[in-house]
Amino acid sequence: RKEVEQDPGPFNVPEGATVAFNCTYSNSASQSFFWYRQDCRKEPKLLMSVYSSGNEDGRFTAQLNRASQYISLLIRDSKLSDSATYLCVVKGATTDSWGKLQFGAGTQVVVTP
Amino acid sequence: NAGVTQTPKFQVLKTGQSMTLQCAQDMNHNSMYWYRQDPGMGLRLIYYSASEGTTDKGEVPNGYNVSRLNKREFSLRLESAAPSQTSVYFCASSGAEGGFTEAFFGQGTRLTVV
């Protein structure tokens, strides 16, 4: 079983609609969680960190559910420019170095006019 | 603002050839990493360097070697390329050892081994 799993999609979303997707992780000791965005096999870029209480950044909302071991990303009022692959990233215990980050394979979102 | 610079951007190798992928960062980060990304799979860590002078194996180190030349530079070497090493390679860096700061990625090297 992979340590971080994502629905690969694609999620086809009409412009202006809301889309949400999850990422599950297997290591209950995981401490830090992030969403990265990757366009067309270009370099990944940090979209947002995920905090225990949940957090919002504009149209993007991230949630963490430790009991069920998943994080979620919700995109409201989808824009064409939101079309990308969203990578779930999980970091182990705080004593681990950055190198212990685990990446999911990504969820593809396609926003259509 | 250069950030993380990788060279080359594209490379085609014949099986058995060797090459070195170069990576440099200008953000004074302590930690640097090499990942590979294959279709349908996430980024997999090849090697990382938590600080100048140290390197550690990641998830898929076989067939690769690395050198942390100084704080800025972290190179990845393929001694005898194999078709299974056809992939997109990303170098990344981050600031703090053990803690989280945003990781910055290079633009990637698209390597094909024929």
Q: Do A102 and B105 touch (CB under 8 A)?
A: no
- Determine the Cα–Cα distance for residues A99 and B35; give it in Å rounded to an integer: 10
Question: What pLDDT was estimated at residue A93?
Answer: 54
CB contact under 8 A, B100 and A32: yes
What pLDDT shows up at residue A29?
81
More confident residue, A93 or B82: B82
Q: Would an 8 Å CB–CB cutoff place B50 in contact with chain A?
A: yes
Contacts of residue A32 in chain B, CB cutoff 8 Å? 100
Mutate to test the interface with A, among B33, B41, B43 (most CBs of A within 10 A): B43
Taking residues B74-84, report their average pLDDT: 97
Average pLDDT, chain A: 89
User: Checking phi first, is residue A26 left (phi over 0); if not, alpha (psi -120 to 50) or beta?
Assistant: alpha
Decide if A97 and B33 are in contact by the 8 Å CB cutoff: no
Minimum mean pLDDT range among A8-17, B2-11, B92-101: B92-101
A71-75, A81-85, B2-6: range with lowest mean pLDDT: B2-6
Q: What is the mean pLDDT of residues A85-101?
A: 70
Beta-bridge partner residues of B88: B37, B110
AA letter at B43: L
Query: Which of B69, B60, B48, B23 lies closest to A98, judged by CA?
Result: B48
Q: DSSP state, A69?
A: T
Using the Cβ of B31 and the Cβ atoms of chain A, whether some distance falls under 8 Å is answered with: yes
Burial A3-34 (b: 16+ CB within 10 A, else e): bbbbeebebebeeeeebebbbbbeeeebebbb
Higher pLDDT: A1 or A109? It is A109
Under DSSP, the state recorded for B73 is: B
Q: B94: pLDDT confidence band, cut at 50, 70 and 90?
A: confident
Report the SS3 class of residue A99: helix
Residue B97's pLDDT band, with cuts at 50, 70 and 90, is low
* Cis peptide upstream of residue A10 (ω within 30 degrees of 0): yes
Q: Given this model, what pLDDT does residue B103 score? A: 82
Residues A48-58 pLDDT 10s: 999 888 899 99
